[in-house]
A and B are shown apart, each in its own frame.
Chain A
Amino acid sequence: MDEILKIEQLKKSFDDLSVLDGIDLSVKKGEVVVIVGPSGCGKSTFLRCLNGLEDIQEGRVSLESEVINPVSKSTVNARKKIGMVFQSYDLFPHKTILQNITLAPMKVHKRKKAEAEGEALQLLERVGLVSKKDNYPRQLSGGQKQRVAIVRALMMHPEVLLFDEVTAALDPEMVREVLEVILSLAKEGRTMLIVTHEMAFAKAVADRIIFMDGGKIIEQGTPDDIFEHPKTERLQSFLKTFTYDR
């Protein structure tokens, strides 16, 4: 498999606070990488560096041959090939669902309205939301909004998808409907980096799991390596936080 995303010696700090401390990672085309780690360890910051939302102090992020970070002119172009979905959905509240998902394709890719809407409806159909196309975001449940946000990202035909705790703000009964969508994307062979606290989902979706702590990659491997045979003490104690003993 070909390498698509390459991260080299990435260092990021906010003023005096070092958040990412030398991260190296190479993601292959079609690979699903899940990132786990304790709260505040820099997972969100890491994803944000990958599409240039945060600038970095050292190192490099590149998509195929284009450099995304350090931020330069090529960032804008490379970023179009990376889709990102956030915990808080961040749909555009003044636009209908259909307008939400066709805005960027029409403005950025200069696609024709009818053509963009055709694809939008197909994708909405796939996530079971065609009937909501003329509603406004406020009229949707959290789970529905998050599925729309995923469709909105897919409309840009990204080569890599980034998901940052996309179910963290959802009620438990809505988590599944969103994760099913992401699972189906994995089956299609999409390249994805997923930050999540849903360990069962991580196990199911990941080709590779990365455990981050203190701004570093501490351990990585297959779901089996990570969950059944954790090597480091830090990962072992992190995994313990997800189980309960009487």
Chain B
Amino acid sequence: MMDFEIINSYIPRFLEAFRLTITIGWLGIALAFVVGIVVAFVQHFHVPVLTAIAKVYIELFRNTPLLVQLFFIYFGLPKIGFQISAEVCGVVGLGLLGGSYMAESIRSGLEAIPPSQTESAVSLGMTKPQLFWNVILPQAFTISLPAIMANVIFLLKETSVFSAISLMDLMFTAKDLIGLYYNTTECLFMLVVSYTIMLLPVSLVGRLAEKKVRYRMFGD
């Protein structure tokens, strides 16, 4: 059975790892959101040249594992002269992976708005920017929100591969402690608890936000 004294003694190390994981996780997600918006806008407005680059970027990052991307950034970049810390590497890796997912979610929301919305705004005399910010984007965001929230949760879980570039995140700490003391059950228990504490509030807040925003447009 589990030894709660052992668990107690592990708490400080797990707290430390928890802090690191959510810091890098949320910074990565913030970056992903920014990248996603930029890439989705580039595609939506068919910006020449950049649209092609955006497509390549999305396919590349959606179709390779985060672990491989992290290795490229962490071990590859120094070879061409860029020194980068494991923390920055984690944020950038998560941000680029997440950016490709966020871009797709936001783009599909933008595409879901019927052209008649644009036409009625245009015939009211609104300019393209006015109707984009006031009519298209808020609706697209409402439609994209469930997908965006799913991405956030997915990205938070993806932080578990950070240990591979020796970031002392939750996974790293658990593996480290198991290697030292063989208290596998206790460590796995702590892992489950930590990830649950990290993700459950996000799920709940996400569902609440979806409900609030969706209610206006769809009434459910």
Contact = CB atoms under 8 A, between A and B. Distances in A.
8 contacts: A53-B123, A79-B123, A84-B120, A90-B116, A93-B216, A93-B217, A104-B121, A108-B124
Contact of A80 (B125, B134, B216): B125
Contact of A136 (B119, B124, B130, B216): B216
Contact of B124 (A88, A94, A139, A156): A156
A139 B219 contact: yes
B218 interface: yes
Interface stretch (B13-21, B135-143, B187-195): B135-143
B130 A108 contact: yes
A187 interface: no
Interface string B104-119: 0000000000001101
A156 B125 contact: yes
Given A88-B116, A90-B119, A94-B142, A136 B126 contact: no
A152 B125 CA distance: 12
Contacts of B185: none
A204 B195 CA distance: 70
Contact of A92 (B117, B122, B123, B127): B117
Secondary structure at the B interface, as helix, strand, loop or mixed, is helix
A51 interface: yes
A53 B122 contact: yes
Interface in A75-121: 76, 79-80, 82-84, 86, 88, 90-95, 103-104, 107-108
Interface of B: 116-117, 119-127, 130, 134-135, 138-139, 142, 216-219
Contacts of A94: 138-139, 142, 216-217
A51 B123 CA distance: 7
A53 B126 CA distance: 13
A83 B125 CA distance: 9
Contacts of A86: 116, 119-120
Contacts of A139: 219
A153 interface: yes
Nearest to B131: A107
A36 to B, nearest CB: 22
B134 A103 contact: yes
Contact of A107 (B120, B134, B217): B134
Given A108-B130, A136-B217, A136-B219, A90 B124 contact: no
Contacts of B121: 92, 104
Nearest to B213: A94
Contacts of B119: 53, 86, 90
A211 B117 CA distance: 30
Given A53-B119, A88-B116, A90-B119, A107 B216 contact: no
A51 B126 CA distance: 13
Contacts of B217: 93-94, 136, 138
A23 B130 CA distance: 33
Contacts of A107: 126, 130, 134
Given A94-B139, A94-B216, A107-B134, A83 B123 contact: yes
